[in-house]
Amino acid sequence: MNLLQEIKKSRPFVIAGPCSAETEEQVHSVLKDIAQDGKTAMLRAGIWKPRTRPNSFEGLGELALPWLVAAGKENNLPVTTEVANAKHVETALKYSVDVLWIGARTTVNPFAIQEIADALKGVDIPVIVKNPVNPDLMLWVGAFERLQQAGITQLAALHRGFSIYKHPKYRNIPNWEIPIALREELPDIPLLCDPSHIAGKREGLLEISQKAMDLNYDGLMIETHPNPDAAWSDPAQQVTAKGLNDLLNNIKLRKEELSEEELSFIVVMREKIAGLDDRIFSLLADRMKMAEEVGVYKRENDITILQQEHWRKVIATRMDQADNLHLTSQFVRSIMDAIHQESIRHQTKVMNPGLKG
């Protein structure tokens, strides 16, 4: 199949199926139910499951591949599964899986990606690459580059969020700025979202799916199971086929093309925003000039650059102002940290003029 053409045909391009293939009956029944909605473009099932700890269900392996492939043929839809090494690639190709995807735990390892790329040399098959488990844009970009050098031309990106310890809302934090940056680096590669792994629970799927569509993603991968609560892996984040259909019906797809009237309004507002940005950066430049003056004074009086107690008070004051300014505390903190680091850089430059770094 030509994955890129298929993705362009419909938005959102939906990939759905169980987290894990468990039994032949389970695979066939849920994939049949999914296919009947007419909204799903590709079927999925986990065959090999990389689990965090031993003695967890790690998939049925090669035994389950014929079930997935047969279900795809029965429903006239392509199928995909995750591969983590050259042996997985060889086995998936043997059974004529239509599309391969590379998981986050594999993308983080350049050696593993290179092994898969080497195994795919000379093979014309689409590959979907999930982001690495840690928020490292260049690792993600590097995975695409290794596959491209192996001759793989049909590539898509899948954003599944990034690992974090005990987040109150997400299983994996989305860090939306990273997939946006990926699009800047690789603008021709389609971008899909995996709300199941970002949310970690089915109640959060709609919110994340909607945001992905609002950010102009090309599609979604949703884990779907005939009886989610009894699933052998990740039960909380899976939905039934009906739940999938309801989810897709509730997503609002917004247009990208603008009318002349809409474009005229947007252009005016963009010009106003650009004017504000100019003022912001001009003020920041003035602030850094003052930081350099402070640096000169500190140099002449042998005062350390970092005044921790003062910085603590500054942060506390700005954080207290966040709500009144209708800004999130996270945004205020990140802006202040960036300003502080730039201020330190300017002071360092004048205090240690002969040093580099």
Is the confidence at residue 35, as pLDDT, over 90?
yes
pLDDT for the residue numbered 153:
96
pLDDT for the residue numbered 10:
86
* Number of Cβ within a 10 Å radius of residue 170: 18
* Region 22-29 average pLDDT: 98
Is the confidence at residue 181, as pLDDT, over 80?
yes
Show the domains of the chain with their CATH numbers: 3-250 (3.20.20.70), 260-351 (1.20.59.10)
pLDDT for the residue numbered 1:
80
Q: Tens digits of per-residue pLDDT, 191-201?
A: 999 999 999 99
What is the Cα–Cα distance from 137 to 181, expressed in whole angstroms?
Answer: 8
DSSP state of 218: -
The mean pLDDT of the chain is 96
Q: What are the tokens at 208? A: 């994340």
Q: Tens digits of per-residue pLDDT, 205-247?
A: 999 999 999 999 999 999 999 999 999 999 999 999 999 999 9
What is the Cα–Cα distance from 14 to 141, expressed in whole angstroms?
Answer: 23
Q: Tens digits of per-residue pLDDT, 91-124?
A: 999 999 999 999 999 999 999 999 999 999 999 8
> Using 50, 70 and 90 to split pLDDT, how confident is the model at 28?
very high
For 338, phi and psi rounded to 5 degrees? -65, -45
Q: How distant, in Å, are the alpha carbons of 50, 112, 274 from that of 286? A: 52, 48, 18
Strand 127-130 versus strand 99-102 pairing type: parallel
pLDDT for the residue numbered 51:
83
pLDDT for the residue numbered 287:
97
Strand 172-173 versus strand 162-163 pairing type: antiparallel
DSSP annotation string for 90-158: HHHHHTT-SEEEE-HHHHT-HHHHHHHHHHTTT----EEEEPPSS--HHHHHHHHHHHHHTT---EEEE
* Region 258-263 average pLDDT: 95
* Region 267-284 average pLDDT: 98
Find the radius of gyration of the CA atoms of the chain: 25
Task: Give the list of residues 6+ apart from residue 196 with CB closer than 8 angstroms, or none.
Answer: 19, 205, 221, 222, 223, 234, 237, 238
Q: How distant, in Å, are the alpha carbons of 38, 271, 279 from that of 276? A: 47, 9, 5
Residue 207's identity, in one-letter code, is: E
* Number of Cβ within a 10 Å radius of residue 238: 27
Q: What are the tokens at 343? A: 């201020």
* Number of Cβ within a 10 Å radius of residue 133: 20
What is the Cα–Cα distance from 61 to 46, expressed in whole angstroms?
Answer: 9
Q: Is 42 helix (H, G, I), strand (E, B) or coil?
A: strand
Q: Is 210 helix (H, G, I), strand (E, B) or coil?
A: helix
Percentage of the chain exceeding pLDDT 90 = 92
Unique residue bearing structure tokens 């939905």: 239
At CB < 8 A and 24+ separation, what contacts does 47-55 make? 47/21, 47/81, 47/82, 47/88, 47/92, 48/81, 48/82, 48/83, 48/84, 48/88, 49/19, 49/20, 49/233, 50/84, 50/103, 50/105, 50/106, 51/233
Is the confidence at residue 203, as pLDDT, over 80?
yes
pLDDT for the residue numbered 356:
64
pLDDT for the residue numbered 353:
85
Q: Is 40 helix (H, G, I), strand (E, B) or coil?
A: strand
Strand 219-223 versus strand 191-193 pairing type: parallel
Is the confidence at residue 357, as pLDDT, over 80?
no
Is the confidence at residue 130, as pLDDT, over 80?
yes
* Region 51-76 average pLDDT: 94
Q: Tens digits of per-residue pLDDT, 39-59?
A: 999 999 999 998 888 888 999
Q: Tens digits of per-residue pLDDT, 322-356?
A: 999 999 999 999 999 999 999 999 999 999 987 76
pLDDT for the residue numbered 54:
87
Percentage of the chain exceeding pLDDT 70 = 99
> Using 50, 70 and 90 to split pLDDT, how confident is the model at 175?
very high
